[in-house]
Structure 1
Amino acid sequence: MLGVVLAGLLLAAVLAAVVVAVRLTHRDEVLPGTRMAGISLGGATETEARRRLAALEAEDAPLVLTTGRRVVRLRPSAAGHDLDERASARRAMRSGREGRLGGAWTTLKGLFTARDVPVVARIDRARLRDAVAGVAGRLDRPASVGALHVDDATLAVGVRSAPRQGREVDRRRLAKLVRAALRSDRQRVVIHVPIERTPAVSRARVRELAAAAEAYLQRPLRLAGAGAVVELSPRRLARLVELQPVDGGADARLGARAGRTRALAARLAEQVERSPRSARLSAPVRPVVFDPKGDASWRPRPARVRVRAGRAGRKLDQAALARSIDEAIRAGRHTASLGAEPVRARVTTAAARRADRLIGTFTTHYEPGQPRVRNIRRIARAIDGTVIAPGEQFSLNGISGPRTREKGYVPAPFITDGNRIVESVGGGVSQFSTTMYNAAYFAGLRIDTHQPHSLFIDRYPAGRESTLNYPDIDLKWTNDTGVPVLVRASGDPASVTVSLYGDNGGRRVRAESAPREPVPGGDFSVVVTRVMRYPDGRVARQPFTTRYEAEDA
C-alpha cells in the first residue's frame, strides 16, 4: 500500500515537473495544443498569435449554408462578425494557465491533443439580421399557382403548368445558427438552413379557374369614361388573363397580368386622350370712342360677342385603368371604368357665353406719320385677340415680348432714366400701355403693376397713364371676374383703341382728380381716385398719386 502511495506521489511530482518545464519553456508563448478558429497557436508569442488571427480575419473565409440542393456562402464580415485579435491573443496566452489545479491538466493535455479556445469577437445584430435576410431572399421561393394556356384560335383555356409548394427560410433560427458558427471553429461548420414549406393551391382549384377563364372570354370587356368608350375583344383579353396567388399561394384567383395591362393602358392613352380646346371669342375692334383726359365715368354696355364653342379635354389615368381591368376580370364583370377624366378648357364655352358686355374701352391719339405710330400699331396687333381667363393675370411685356427690329419695331423717341428723350427701338409703345391701362381702369379690373412716366406728356390723362420698357417696367392687371376677358386692340393713322369685353358684375367706375400740386424742383403731382360702385351698393375708393419731374435740359 505504501508503495502505491509513493508511486502516486512520484508520478504527481513528475507531472508537476513536466507542467513547470512546459510553462517555463513557453513562458512568453501560447502553450502547446492551443487552437483558435482552426488555427494552431501553440508556441506563438502574443504578437505572433495576433498576427495569425489577423490573417484569419483578413481571409474572411465564408461560411457554407446549404438547403441540401442549393449552397450559399456567407462571409463573416458581411454577417457582422468583428474579431478582436488583441483580446483573442490574450485569451490564448491564458489558456492552460488558469482554472482547476491552476490549469495544470490543460497544460499536460495540450502536449498530446489540440484544444479549441473560442475567439473574442463582436457580432453586430443589425448586420447579422440583414445578412440573414439576404440569404433568405436568395433561397425563399413563393408558392406557385401555376399558369394557364389559352388557345389562340378557339380561346379554349387549359393548364400550362401545375401549382407548386413554396419555401421560406426560418430567419430567426438561421440567425442563431450563423451566430453560433461565427463563435466556433467556423472552418469546419456547414450550416443546414432551416426551411419551412408553404402550401400551394390544389390542382382541382386551378382547373376550376381555367374553366371560369374560358367562360369569361366569351364576351368583350367594355371600358367607358369621360365620353369615350373602348371595347377589348375576347382575343385581346386572352393576352391579359392570368392566375394570381391568394394567401401566399395557398389559393388563387383570376386577374390581369400587370405588365401587359400597363402596356395596354399606355396604348389606349394614345388613342383616347385629347387636349382641351378653349372657346373662341370675337367682338368689334372699336365699338365706341372714349378718350377723356380729365374726370370721367364709365359703366358696362351690352355688346355683341360671338363665341365659337370649345371642348373639354380628356386625360387617362393609366394606373387606374390597369386596376379597373384587373378588378373586372377578378369579379367576372364585362364593364369597367376607362379611367378617363375630363380636362377643363382654359376658357370654357359656358363662361365665354357670359362675356356679353363692353366692360372698358379707351382711345388715345397721336400725330400721323411718326415712326412711333408704327410701333404702337405693331404692339396693338400683337395684343389683339388675347383672352384672359378668370383669375389669370395680363402682362403686357409677357404677351408682346421684347420689341425688336425682327418683329417689325423701329427706332423712335423714348424717355430714359434722367428724364432724357433718346431714340430706341420700340419707342412710343408706352402710349399703347397707357391706352390699355385706362381700358382696364374703367373696366374696374384689379391693377397689379403699372408705372407712370417720369415726365408729364399732355396727350395722356394726368395721373392715369403707364410707361413700358422690356423687361423691367410692365403693365399687369388681373381678371378678377368670373368671366373671360377678350382684348381687342387696333391702331389707325391717328389713334389707338383698346376695348375689353366680358362681364365685370356691373361695376361702374369714375375717375376723380384732385387739383394739381406744384413740386419743388419738379413739375407737379396729382392724386387721381378710382371710385368703383358695385350693384350691391358697395363703394371702393382707390387713390393713386403721380409725381412728374421736370425735363432735363
Structure 2
Amino acid sequence: MAVIARSGQRAGAVVVRAFPWRFLVVPLAMSALALGSAAAAELAYSSRALPGLTVAGVAVGSLEAPALRERLESEIAAPWAAAGVTLRDGDREWTTTNGALGIVPDVDAAVAAALAYGKSGSALDRAGAWIDALRGDANVSFAMRARGDALAGFVASVARDANRAPVSGELALAGGDLRITPPQLGREIDGGVTVARLLSATMLGDREVALSVRAVYPPLDASGFDDAYAAAAAALTPLVVRVEDRGWSESSSALASLVVIDRIVARPGELPALPAEAIAPAVRYRYVVSLSGARLDSWVSALGAVLDHPAKNAKFRVREGDVLAVVPSESGVRVDQTKLRALLGVELLRPAGGATREVAAPAGVDAPALTTEKALALVPQLSRTSTFTTQYPPSDVRHANISTGSSQFDGVVIMPGETFSFWDLLGPVTPDRGYRYAGAIINGRSDENVIGGGLCQVSTTIFNAISRQGYEIVERHAHGYYIDRYPLGLDAAVFMPGNDFRWRNDTASPVFLWSLNGDTSLTIDLWGIPTGRTVTFSDAVQWNFVLPAKDQPADPAFLPG
C-alpha cells in the first residue's frame, strides 16, 4: 500500500518521517578519516622510529634501523665510553670511566626498543605514545652490559678499600682495672647491587652512583655490651660508706674484687633484632655483670667490723679494801649487715652520678649486755673467788710488757656463755701502746728481740686463776720447753698469729679479772659469784725430756748457775 505524504492530514492518519542521516554522516566521516590517517601513519612508521622519539636524549625520530644504529653508535657509544663514573660512599669516592669499566651500551637492544616504541597495546595506548613522541616527551633508556672482567675487578678493589671487619666487644678485669674493647659494626659492600647500579643509566654524560653497603654485626655488639659496661664502670666507682660521723673509703681496685663479668650466649629475644638487610653473626653474645655473693658477704662483714661502734658493757674496778666500783656502760651503733648487703648489691651496679659514690649504711642501736643498772645490782653478790701469783726475774722491759698487758683485762666482764680470748681483749701489741722488746720463745728457742716479750706470764697467770674455778678451757698451748717459774704443766703460751688462750664462762653468772703488779710478780684475781665447784689437781708427770740446743743462749734474766 502506498503511503503518500501530504501537507494536510486526515485525523487518525499515520505519518512516517525520514531519519536525519546528514547529522551522523559528518562525525563518522571525520572519525573514519582520522582512523584512516592513524592507520596510514602506523603503516608508514612500521619500520621506523616514531617522530620526535629520543634514545638517551639522542634524537632518533623517523629513522629506520640502519640509520638509527649508526646514529646510536656515533652519538651514544663513543661519548658513553669517555663519560666519567663516580662511585660514592658518604664523603669517600672512587672515580673512573665507563670505558675503563668495560661498560658498553647494548645498541642492539636500544634499536629494537626504539623501533618497538608506540607500536603495541590498545589503540588508545598507541595514540598516547604518538602524542608523547610528537611533543618530545618520549625517551627510551638504553641497557648496559659489561664486557670483560674490568667491572668486577673495580668493584672488588673498592670492596677491599671500603669493607671493614666487625669488632666484637670485650669487657674484662685485669689488675683491678676495667679493660674494654668497644664493639664496632663492620661494613661489606653489596657487590651485586653495586654492579647493577653501575650498569643502569638513563642519560649520557658523567654520573654518580651510590655504593651499596651492608652493616656487618659482630658476635657481641653494642646491645650486648653497653649495659654491662655501664654496670661494671659503676661498680668500680670509688666508694665511701658512712655511719654517723665515721666513714670507710674503698678504692676502685678493691671494689673490682667484688665484680664478676660473664660472657654468655644470648637467648632469642634477649637482644634487639638486627636490621633485615644486615649481615648477622652465627651466634650472638652478651655480657652479664654481677657481684660475687661470697665476696660481698665477706666485705660487708669487714665493713661492719670497721664501722660498728660496739656498745661497752659496764666494768668493775677494785678499790682499796676490795671495794667494788662500777664503770658505766655505753650504748653503741651496729651496722645492719643484712640490709647493707642488700643495699650495696643494688647500689654498686647503678651509675654513681659523680666521681665518688657515698652510701649511708643502715644501722641501729647496739645495747650493752651488762648495763650500769645490772652491774650495780651484782655488786653485793660478787666476791674474789680465785687468785694466783707468778714470779719473774727483775727486768724493766719485761715488767713494762706484763703490767701493760695485764691491765687490758682489768674489770672486763665475761658474761655467761661468753668466751674469753686473750688476743681479742688484749688488742695490738705495739710500741706506741707501751710495749717493749724482750725475751720470748720462738720455734722452741729463746729470742730476746720480740715486741711484747713476757706476755705469756699474763696468759699463764690468768690460766691458773680461772682453772681453779673449773671454767671450760677452749684453747691452750704449752711452751716449747719447761719454764720453772710456772707450775709444772700449767703454763699457757700465746703467740700472734697462731696461739691464743681461750676459756668459756660456762656458769650462769658474770665474772671479771683484776690484776695486781709487783716489781717481779703478777697476781690475777678472779671475781664472781661462787659456783660451788671443787677443783683438784693431780701430781704432774714428766716425760719426753728434751735437752736445749747447744747454741741456746742463757736467759739474761737469770744469774749464771
Q: Do Structure 1 and Structure 2 share a fold, with TM-score over 0.5?
A: no
Name the TM-score, length of structure 2 as normaliser: 0.41
- The one of the two structures with greater contact order (alpha-carbon pairs below 8 A, sep at least 6) is 1
